[in-house]
Amino acid sequence: MLVRARIKLVGARGSYSSVALADTGARMTLLDKSLAERVGVEYTGRVVSFIAISGHVVKALEAVVHELEVEGEALRYEPVAVAEIPGKVKEALRGSGVDENVVVGVLTLERANMVPDTTTGTLRRVEAFIL
């Protein structure tokens, strides 16, 4: 079962709220370039690469969003990857009932002390584990 997360992005130019896919296969949270520009992220100058589900290597720009709220948990200065999400991927996301412009990654979920529960399709709060 897909896990959905209520999110809110706050950037230098505006904010954006939606329901996004929480993807345990995605390390970083991914924003589509058009949304990143609309809310006003701050680019770090670092290029990150990841392997898409299709097996292709995708290059993205690392950026910081002023605030990323996940299920009510506000994360200040959250790093994100910004890339143009391909049309077929956007279509698949829309078809799954989640936002086509945002995919929440594991690093964001860990920072928010949340884990995906695939039996309910929701996020569950957990205590932080520090060694």
pLDDT interval class at 53 (50, 70, 90): low
pLDDT tens digits, 61-107: 999 999 999 999 999 999 999 999 988 889 999 999 999 999 999 99
Which residues have a Cβ under 8 Å from the Cβ of 11 and sit 6 or more positions away? 36, 39, 40, 41, 65, 66
As for how many domains the chain has, the answer is 1
Within a domain: residue 131? no
Contact (CB, 8 A) for 117 and 124: yes
Within a domain: residue 41? yes
Within a domain: residue 83? yes
Within a domain: residue 55? yes
Query: What is the predicted pLDDT for the residue at 52?
Result: 73
Within a domain: residue 39? yes
Within a domain: residue 99? yes
Instruction: Give the Cβ contact number of residue 16 at 10 Å.
Output: 18
Within a domain: residue 12? yes
Within a domain: residue 130? no
The whole domain housing 63 covers 4-125
Helix or strand holding residue 94 (H, E): helix 87-95
Q: Which residues are 76's β-sheet partners?
A: 67
CATH of the domain at 65: 2.40.70.10
